[in-house]
Amino acid sequence: MARIACITGATAGIGKATALALAKEGYDVIITGRRSDKLQQVSGEIALKTGREVLPLTLDMRDQQAVEKAITNLTAEWKDIEVLVNNAGLAAGLDFINEGSIDDWEAMIDTNIKGLLYATRAVSPIMVSRKRGHIINISSIAGKEVYEKGNVYCGTKHAVDAITKGTRIDLVKHGIKVTSVSPGAVDTEFSNVRFKGDKEKADAVYKGYTPLFADDVAEAVLFAVTRPPHVNINDLLIMSAAQASAAYLHREE
């Protein structure tokens, strides 16, 4: 039987790189995202590069019923999910709290917190029944520290941090590992999404220093997944060598 990993939000960035890394490691991968065309493209790319099976599921992680149905309807060959990477997430906007957009807040809370919970609720019973599994939540330095205008995004990632710890406590007796991987700035579509397609603003985030790349985070996930059975990585906080804290980045002029 193939080993199965499910990576949410794998049409781009960290999720895509992680899906590829896990497929290279020998997992057949279930990948999710809302953009069907991108998902098909990534699916083909992973299959071609690794020879593994890939199951693309077009899913909005905010839709609890759709998430539950997608997992319930998995065929036997895909059902035994061993690794769940809760990666789908976003920052929407960067505004002072008194000027923030309610729609942005809802999108972040619904995706980063509720979507992660829906996936965990759907998949963890499978792991419990098999007495094995590994859940990896992609948190952030924003889950450890708070920066100006980061208010709600940081709030969602602090929630991910707490949920990760709670999940670990609840599932430890079932032999399930729970890890959070918490990156600093990573050059992905993240800032383009945060600034709603404003390329100049998005590019400025990564100017003057070398940020992390999606592959760097995928390697951290892979490290956690490939530890021996008796070892669990609780949390990996990983940043560019030019970043010292959430708000302090050393940029060359």
Is-contact 251 208, C-beta < 8 A? Answer: yes
- For ligand 8X3, give the closer residue by CB, 122 or 136: 136
Among 48, 53, 45, smallest CA distance to 26 is for 53
Nearer to ligand 8X3, 85 or 142 (CB): 142
Binder among 24, 38, 79, 149 for ligand NDP (CB under 6 A): 38
Applying the rule CB under 6 A, the residues between 96 and 155 that interact with ligand NDP are 111, 115, 138, 140
Q: Which stretch binds ligand NDP (CB under 6 A): 53-61, 124-132, 195-203, 223-231?
A: 53-61
Catalytic residue ranges: 153
For residues 90 and 111, the answer to whether their CB atoms sit within 8 Å is yes
| Piece of the chain touching ligand NDP by CB under 6 A; list 6-14, 164-172, 222-230, 244-252 | 6-14
| Min CB(185)–ligand 8X3 separation in Å | 5
Q: How far is the CB of 163 from ligand NDP (least distance, A)?
A: 13
What is the rounded end-to-end Cα distance, in angstroms, of the chain? 54
Nearer to ligand NDP, 178 or 193 (CB): 193
Give the residues lining the site for ligand 8X3 (CB under 6 A). 140-142, 150, 184-185, 246
18 is a site residue for ligand NDP (CB under 6 A): no
In this complex, which beta carbon is closest to ligand 8X3, that of residue 50 or of residue 156?
Answer: 156
Partner whose footprint covers residue 246, from ligand 8X3, ligand NDP, none (CB < 5 to 8 Å by kind): ligand 8X3
Binding-site ranges for ligand NDP (CB under 6 A): 9-15, 32-35, 38, 59-62, 87-90, 111, 115, 138, 140, 183, 185-186, 188-190, 193
